[in-house]
Chains A and B, each alone.
Chain A
Amino acid sequence: MASFLLIPYGNPSRRDDGVAFHIAHRLLERLGLDEMDPEEVVTYDVADGLTIMGLHQLAPELAQDLAEADMVVFIDAHVPGAGWEDVHWEEIEGELRPSMVTHQLKPQSVLALCQALYQRTPRTYVLSVLGTDFDFGGDLSPQAQALVDPAVDRLMALLDAHTQPTDAP
């Protein structure tokens, strides 16, 4: 058993940039937990706790939340130029680079901060879906919409693998 922290982040008013919130909604529907607001911080009775923390962007204080979880998944969109699969899944390690002027951090940077401040890191993954339309609006592009269920499949597989007592880490 493990505690999970899912962090969907992005701007839901910029179409595919907010795909993470659509993925979180669909995940909760499939878990039978559809009465929620993914832009709030809510913990569900799944495994040792499934917490969903919706964010606009990532900032340093998130390191403390990471330190308290066993497993973390950052959920976002990526741009075509990233060279990633349409549904990108990777386990990441901490790595921090200086920011120029931006105030947001990359998942790797938050993880590095977590390690430096709290001397521990959870297993951490990035789940990212290809975005093609980042214009103003709340609807996803058809391409991003079609990737929501495959992305949820990856999350369900992770939850299933780590909520079976015999598979407990």
Chain B
Amino acid sequence: MGQKLTIDPVTRIEGHARVTIRVDDDGQVEQAFMHVDQFRGFEKFSEGRMYYEMPVITPRICGICPVSHHLASAKAADRVAGVVPPRPAQLLRELLHMGQMIQSHSLHFFHLASPDLLLGFDADPAIRNVVGLIEADPALAVKAVKLRKYGQEIIRRLSGRRIHMHWAVPGGVSAPLAPEERDWILGQADEMQGYIQDGIAVAKSWLAANQDTVQSFANFRSNYLGMNRDGALELYEGPVRMVDSDGNFVVEFDACDYLDYISERVEDWSYLKFPYYKAMGWPDGVYRVAPLGRLNLADRIDTPLANEELKEWKALADGPVEPSLYYHYARLIEDLHALERAVELCEDPDILSLDIRETSFEITGEGVGCIEAPRGTLWHHYWTDDDGVITKVNLIVATGNNNWAMNKSVDMVAKTFVDPSNLTEGMLNRVEAAIRCYDPCLSCSTHALGQMPLIVSVEDGSGQVLATHTRD
């Protein structure tokens, strides 16, 4: 009778992920998949609220990328209100978004990914963490904290708050950028650029030195989807493009028309839906998003240093770069672009303008907001009555777009690296690392203390637990 291994973090009341590894009668991994027990109650919760409240409400979906929700929501609210923000407001919103990209991408690489890379997948978990990283490379660790804080400071200095901002509003933003805050952002930029480039050097060095692992670790073909502007990487505003697994153009569409192009498949074992491109159907239409997807879509990046890195990226493969571990390199290239773009925005003559809000509204009854969040393409879609009261909400969250890819990665890595008869922490860490490539954000809605530890249970086909593996 087959067995089942479950990696169960159980880290939240809601919103956690588990990995189940099914074992066949011969003791080999038969199939592995990731469940997300995240009930999307936020959509229902929002019904009955005023549309202009949504940019305040929705950042509370997530504690790590509230800015992405805040801005996608503000864009949707603009369209509900039938209003186009003035150019200075668009620049300011994009600057906020770059701060978010810097803090999120830096946090992921230095805090979550680099311990695996620099200390090893099989290192003792007591040292395979950021403290272990500090002991191994204290200078790099200090840079990581400074980078993360820089991104957070951009957000705070623009929006006035570290969390739960009220800044982006229908028609623009509620406060301009002060000259001294602009100067502070610019004054730190050179130092931060060096830190990101140090991170890129670490990532490239590790990837080059570990090609056997890279090529055998969740390396698979897929379509790629994300915003793109005339071939250039785009993170804030633009049409959505998809290319196929050979890098050939498939489709480009206005992000507001996503319902004509994207469907979501439902599986009874996960609350997280599986988006795919309608015209290709399921499963041919599945795709990858976020840094690896966005760079595989891009012919160029419109900031010079990041574009030089993109050229090196493109030289890695004759077509899309497929190994999932390259997400880490792609993430840092985007980090560099976000910093360069933040400088461009701060140097724009309009960035200090006081013309930051259009206040002539006419309720349209519907609005879509789309943005490239750190973890991929994020859609907010609101329907309202004539008074602007929300009647329906649809969200396609960034992580959800990579749901299929994460499952594919978990399955491949489990089959390659997990020996159920001789289970080790390092094997399980590889499965987790496959998920970490995508930097998913699954579990941000609540985080009460006292969670259960990570549990791996071995079960037979009838559900009887044969063994458990637990760690803090």
Contacts and interface: CB of A to CB of B under 8 A. Distances in A.
Interface stretch (A24-32, A60-68, A147-155, A157-165): A60-68
B450 A82 contact: yes
A168 interface: no
A40 interface: yes
* Residue of A55, A84, A99 with most partner-chain B CB within 10 A: A99
B7 to A, nearest CB: 8
B408 interface: no
Contact of A104 (B130, B134, B447): B447
Interface string A102-121: 11101001001100110000
Contacts of A43: none
A98 B142 CA distance: 18
A57 B449 contact: no
* Residue of B63, B111, B443 with most partner-chain A CB within 10 A: B63
A117 B145 contact: yes
A23 B45 CA distance: 25
A30 B378 CA distance: 43
B454 interface: yes
Given A78-B450, A104-B63, A113 B130 contact: yes
A14 B446 contact: yes
Contact of A11 (B60, B148, B440, B454): B60
A109 B115 CA distance: 15
Interface in B78-134: 107-108, 111-112, 115, 125-126, 128-131, 134
Given A11-B445, A40-B161, A117-B134, A60 B450 contact: no
A1 interface: no
A116 B134 contact: yes
Interface stretch (B11-19, B176-184, B280-288, B326-334): B11-19
Contacts of A101: 17, 112, 432, 435-436, 439-440, 442
B129 A96 contact: yes
A79 interface: yes
A54 interface: yes
Contacts of B443: 102
A81 B128 CA distance: 28
A103 B441 contact: yes
A9 B447 CA distance: 9
A77 B112 contact: no
* Residue of B131, B148, B435, B446 with most partner-chain A CB within 10 A: B446
Interface in A27-61: 39-41, 54-57, 59-61
Contacts of B152: 61
A60 B64 contact: no
Interface in A135-151: 135-137
B144 interface: yes
Contacts of B432: 100-101
B16 to A, nearest CB: 9
* Residue of B9, B142, B447 with most partner-chain A CB within 10 A: B447
Contacts of B26: none
Contacts of B162: 40-41, 55
B42 interface: yes
A134 interface: yes
A33 B351 CA distance: 37
Nearest to A63: B145
Interface string A66-85: 00000000001111011110
Interface string B44-77: 0100000000000100100110100000000000
A83 B450 CA distance: 8
A10 B107 CA distance: 20
A100 B115 CA distance: 12
B444 interface: yes
A103 B117 CA distance: 18
B163 A56 contact: yes
Contacts of A12: 60, 164
A128 B436 CA distance: 30
A103 B64 contact: yes
Contact of B435 (A77, A100, A136): A100
B63 A57 contact: yes
A104 B107 CA distance: 10
| A-B complex: 4 closest residue pairs judged by Cβ atoms | A82-B450, A56-B63, A78-B450, A57-B63
24 contacts: A11-B445, A11-B446, A14-B445, A14-B446, A17-B445, A17-B447, A56-B63, A56-B164, A57-B63, A81-B452, A82-B451, A83-B450, A84-B450, A97-B125, A97-B126, A98-B125, A98-B129, A99-B111, A101-B112, A103-B441, A104-B447, A106-B449, A113-B131, A134-B448
Given A56-B60, A81-B452, 7 more contacts: A10-B447, A12-B164, A59-B148, A63-B145, A78-B449, A81-B450, A82-B451
